[in-house]
Amino acid sequence: MPLDIKLHPVLTRVENSLAYHISPSSCDYHLYFFFPHTVRDWNILPEAVVRASSSEVFSGMVHG
């Protein structure tokens, strides 16, 4: 099953403005692959980290 990744249409309390949505599936084996797991981690990053102006700023904020 190919992943259908799109910007999430409705934000929740724990998601940033650039959160992605992974379409639901009847089986969850693909959720443990690298990309879907990384998307879940990305979605809960704080807004300031997501909007970092460079990779150096991003890395400094994440590893902090």
Any domain includes 24: yes
Residue 4 lies in a domain: no
pLDDT tens column, 5-33: 566 666 667 788 888 877 777 777 777 78
| Assessment of whether the complete model's pTM goes beyond 0.75 | no
Quick check: 8 and 43 in contact, CB under 8 A? yes
Containing structural domain, residue 17: 12-63
In a domain, 42, yes or no: yes
- Where do we find the tokens 């994440």? 62
Kindly report, residue by residue over 35-53, the tens digit of the pLDDT.
878 888 888 888 888 888 8
Residue 64 binned pLDDT confidence (cut-offs 50, 70, 90): low
Count of structural domains, the chain: 1
Residue 46 lies in a domain: yes
**30 belongs to a structural domain:** yes
Q: Is residue 6 part of a domain?
A: no
18 falls within a domain:
yes
